[in-house]
Chain A
Amino acid sequence: MADFGSDSSEKKEEFFSEAQEIVDGLGKLLLDLEGAITESRIDPDVINEMFRAVHTLKGIAGLFGATRMSGMSHELENMLDDVRMGRLDLSVAVLDLLFKAVDLYTHILLFERGDAPDPEHEIAKLLSLFAQVTQPDESPTSNIFTQYDLDPGMFGVLTEYEEHRLKSNIEAGLGLFRLRVRFSLTILDSALEDLKKKAKPLGEIITYLPAPSTDESDFENLELDILMSSKSDAALIDRTLSVEGLVVNPVKRRAAGGPPPKPQAPVSRSPLPKIGAPPSLPPPTIAGPGRLPADLMPETRAGTPKAPPAKSGRPGARTSMAPHAPGQAGQFVGKSAAQTTVRVDIRKLDRLMTILGELAIVRSAVGRLAERLRGSVEHRELGTELHRLHRTFERQLAQMQNGILEVRMVQLGPVFDKLQRGLRAISREYSRPVNLVITGQETEIDKLIVEELSDPLMHMVRNAFDHGIEPVEDRLSVGKPEVGTIALNAYQKGNHVVIEVEDDGRGMDPKLIIASAIRKGVITEDESREMSARDAYRLVFMPGFSTKVVVTDLSGRGVGLDVVKTNISKLGGIVDVTSDVGIGTKMTITLPVTLAIINVLIVEIGGRSFAIPLASVEEAFVYEPTLTRNVEGREVLSLRGQSLPICHLSTLFQIDSFDAEGHDGRKFYVVTVAVGIRRLGLLVDRLEGQQDIVIKPLGKSLKSVHGFAGAAELGDQRVALVLDVAAIVEEVLAGDQSRYLAMSGDGRI
């Protein structure tokens, strides 16, 4: 395990979060790469960026003594370097290894945290696979450069990487161009960056070298000789780059069979000097901003036993010069986006939120004071002034609150990327092709929710794959496309975020589910009789339920969807299922956008205050006992043609309330809450009003108590419990769901 020394938990946390961020980024790059491969258009920058990410990981892992991680990074770095240099083809097998490595990183991080067993064995396995694919390829490469009318002097200074890029560009059928440009030394760096940026849409700048100046006395400017590959013509390049004094010359292709120039042959032009070589040149400042520290360069591979011997296409290529080649350094563009963001420990935000909550309490006290002053004769003016101040205070507090909430929000994208990687792995492992279609990855949700979301979602996706998507033969026989599709959709709906996992697989047959549930003793035959299709779907969330006869590695290991459901409801969310046999299954998760601050309706039951999150409240109205009926032992209210089951909270919570015995003319209220498509009327004594609260969790000692999401201070030291609406709806409706559903006739799917 990593050695963090004592009293460095913060550093440790920083290491974990930074490492995790890099690993997540790697996963994302990998997916980009895979997409690019299928379109056979690989962006070398992606590979470079991965290389850099792995290098950084190696660095920080080394710093923190996480030897497992630094060791693996070292090998991975070598492999990526081979890919980068074209020594290793980016085959599907290589890609698989990269995906495995990313997953293993996550495992290693868990291990370093002490949350997972030592992955030593897995690492060794992966490394041996690395070694297999990186066996040096000894087949000689044909020198295709000779087909071009380029002077060998230029080839002579190409780094191995540049040579590889040049080669693959030529192979891709791109034309070569030689550009001459003159930049002032003072703006050289930025001008070059700018040029590269402009050139990117057209092609790639392979290398740039200082050219022998035409004017020996000119020390202000530097002339550059640039080699660029592009599919466009010279005129277009000239127009696009639009640099003053730019000269673009296409490099001619030799006639086939033409005599290749001998590398040693004397050339008419003086050979292009390497930067720093000619004494007449001013000190080189090229490759400033994009330059990598020297240790990032391939020379770090020197001590690697497994690395294939560096080979070059031609004799005499100077690999020893590679580490400081400006052309290569220019390939790495600084990660400027990272510099504008800060990493914040979410607990710090929680503290701010708590302070804000206390400020809100102060605010309401000030508000009350203002009202009192306004009510008195002699202080009315003061009161009005205070009232105005109070309003401003209120508004700005709200803004601040929104600001803090915004900071807590993160996009779902990284979670979805992780799912995509996971699905890819199992899809390949089981040779059952599947397409993951993602929409709404930009949907934002509370950081804390996101962290808890990836496991349940992964389980659902695996479940969709394992139980949903049929084997290819089965799909073809019913006329479905060979490749199954799993869709992952996210969108915001009011104060909730909805995430759907939908597959076009075989669907769930309610009859089979019920039969299986009876067999497993989850329900009795009697209970099964009144079950609707929807009841049946809900059975899959019962502990100990699994419809698949064969237990696979993926799902059906006993850890079932019931865990998914528990985890989601811990986050204040719910899971619903709909399915059509033969067409597919859709699971829907509905989650609150944030956990931090919520707007609640304060109600009173038996003299006690309770808070109901407004996000779940649909409406509140006066209770009319005469409009309710008793159906199968449950009180039901007919509301606009729909049945609304009523729950007496006083009964549920065993509180003596006024409504317990006879109604003696008192008014009661029904608060209609909705969770997903399920609705329930909560009967309360009184409505007190709305309030924004900072919800705090109940202590560990109360974790066995269900029905409350936490508690919040209301001011004047009063603490109110916040109802966990999802849990209550679940408890009340699922407690005897068969009866309720049969009665309400709700078979909507």
Chain B
Amino acid sequence: MSDLIRRPVRDMRRAADMGKRVEYLAFMLGTQIYAVPIQHIAEILKPPPITEIPRAPRNVVGIISVRGKLVTVFDLRRRFGLIESPFDRRTRILLTDTGDDEPIGLLVDEVRQVYRLAEHEIEPAAALGGDQPAYIFGIGRQDDALLVLLELKALLES
């Protein structure tokens, strides 16, 4: 009888522990791995033809049409001052979905994998030293990987 009671409790504990884990989509920008909460990514697209916008801010790549909707595509490499490599077969566009803001496209060099990070696997951004911009909210560590975790809302607003 007591066994029957104890087991579910243990399972529940594990579930609660797992519930704290957040899924992050990791991608490459230059040589660094970045990650964003996967719940904010609606879609991963192979780049369609991109229409450049004259006189747009430098980190805007252009606009694309996603099923009839116009989406502005940003180049995070330009945003972060990283080396820009030309488009290749691994280049992708991440379509965001943050709920309130309009969806935008983020150009990335390569999409890696989904990490499920527990709280203890995330260090605050201050661990990088100095003042970190608001859109970097932490550093994720799992196995050997080191992920720069981005806060999309802050990134879009900055």
Contacts and interface: CB of A to CB of B under 8 A. Distances in A.
A14 B138 CA distance: 45
Given A699-B72, A701-B104, A713-B68, A720 B51 contact: yes
A699 B70 contact: yes
B51 A608 contact: yes
Q: Give the top 5 A-B pairs by smallest Cβ distance, nearest first.
A: A653-B54, A719-B51, A699-B72, A701-B72, A705-B56
Interface of A: 354, 357-358, 608, 652-655, 696-702, 704-708, 710-711, 713, 717-721
Nearest to A699: B72
Interface residues of B, number: 23
A721 B102 contact: no
Contact of B54 (A354, A358, A707, A710): A707
B64 interface: yes
24 contacts: A357-B68, A608-B51, A697-B70, A698-B70, A699-B72, A700-B101, A701-B72, A701-B74, A702-B60, A705-B57, A708-B53, A710-B70, A711-B51, A711-B63, A711-B70, A713-B68, A717-B65, A718-B49, A719-B49, A719-B51, A719-B63, A719-B64, A719-B65, A721-B53
A699 B104 contact: yes
Nearest to A719: B51
Contacts of B54: 652-655, 707, 721
A701 B75 CA distance: 13
Interface string B89-115: 000000000000110100000000000
B40 to A, nearest CB: 16
A701 B68 contact: no
B48 interface: yes
B57 to A, nearest CB: 7
Contact of B55 (A654, A696, A719): A654
A707 B55 contact: yes
Contacts of A706: 55
B43 interface: no
B84 interface: no
Contacts of A702: 53, 56, 60, 63, 72
Q: Which of B56, B57, B63, B104 has the most CB of A within 10 A?
A: B63
B17 interface: no
B121 interface: no
Contact of A653 (B49, B55, B102): B55
Given A358-B68, A719-B63, A700 B102 contact: yes
Nearest to A610: B54
Contacts of B49: 717-719
B51 A698 contact: no
A655 B56 CA distance: 12
Q: Which of B56, B71, B101, B156 has the most CB of A within 10 A?
A: B56
Contacts of B119: none
B53 A717 contact: no
Nearest to A358: B68
Nearest to A649: B54
B144 to A, nearest CB: 36
Contacts of B72: 698-699, 701-702
Given A717-B48, A717-B49, A718-B49, A699 B102 contact: yes
A698 B63 contact: yes
A718 B52 CA distance: 11
Given A654-B54, A700-B101, A702-B56, 12 more contacts: A652-B54, A653-B55, A698-B63, A698-B70, A699-B71, A701-B60, A702-B63, A705-B53, A706-B55, A717-B48, A719-B49, A721-B54
Contacts of B51: 608, 711, 718-721
